[in-house]
Structure 1
Amino acid sequence: MDKLLETDPELARFVAEMEQTSRMKKTTEKLTLECWDLCITNPNVSRFDSKTESCLVNCVERFIDSSTYLVKEFSNKSQSVSSSSDFADSEMIIDDKFTLSPEPKLNEQEKKSSGFKFW
């Protein structure tokens, strides 16, 4: 399959687009499930109250902030791994809870000052 993708740029572009679409669908599904479970206390109403709407907005914003932060951190770690032999054996994995593994070792003050609350 890899050789076919190398020789057929149109197929490679199509596969990349399908992978991106799949990632977006998974992210949207995860966002919907997380925020729904967190914010919706009574789904049998015709309109959500202001507290529920506020919760949903904040949940989506934190989800986006967290995802953006993790992508940047992952990118930074990948760059440092490729430029440093000290990290040659390290693995950076984004798991299903949107955390980096291995987790950075932060003391309580650093955690509070980071400004991010993860799930």
Structure 2
Amino acid sequence: MDNLSLETADLDKLNDQDKTELRQFLQNENQKARVQATVHSLTDVCFRKCITGSIRNGKLDKTEESCMANCAERFFDVSTLTMKHLQNIRQN
């Protein structure tokens, strides 16, 4: 029996409550993965934009620090606006 059949057979053994809990768990894990991917993307974009030299003593200089903060804030602002826009579209 291949893995897909074995997994399907195992899932069929679960009761409805367990299936619901498993679906919720998987949905939560997928959401965590999306958040981590978003944070990684944000970090990469802002780092490439803001860090122009080498990091000395493990600290950013004031302009780099300010740029990183502004970049992150703009990223979240755009994300919030996008979510609001999508909610408006869904409601209409």
TM-score interval, normalised by the smaller of the two chains: 0.7 to 0.9
| TM-score, normalised by the number of residues in structure 2 | 0.75
| Structure having the larger proportion of residues in helix | 2
Unaligned runs of 5+ in 1: 81-119
Q: Where does 1:13-28 land on structure 2 (aligned, <5 Å)? A: 13-28=24-39
Q: Hey, which bits of structure 1, 4+ residues long, moved more than 6 A?
A: none
Q: Which has the higher contact order (CA 8 A, sep 6+)?
A: 2
Question: How many angstroms apart in 2 are the aligned matches of 1:16 and 1:78?
Answer: 21
CA radius of gyration, larger in: 2
Question: How many angstroms apart in 2 are the aligned matches of 1:57 and 1:44?
Answer: 16
Q: CA RMSD, aligned part only?
A: 1.5
| TM-score, normalised by the number of residues in structure 1 | 0.59
What is the percentage of aligned positions where both structures have the same residue? 36
Unaligned runs of 5+ in 2: 1-7
How many residues align structurally? 76
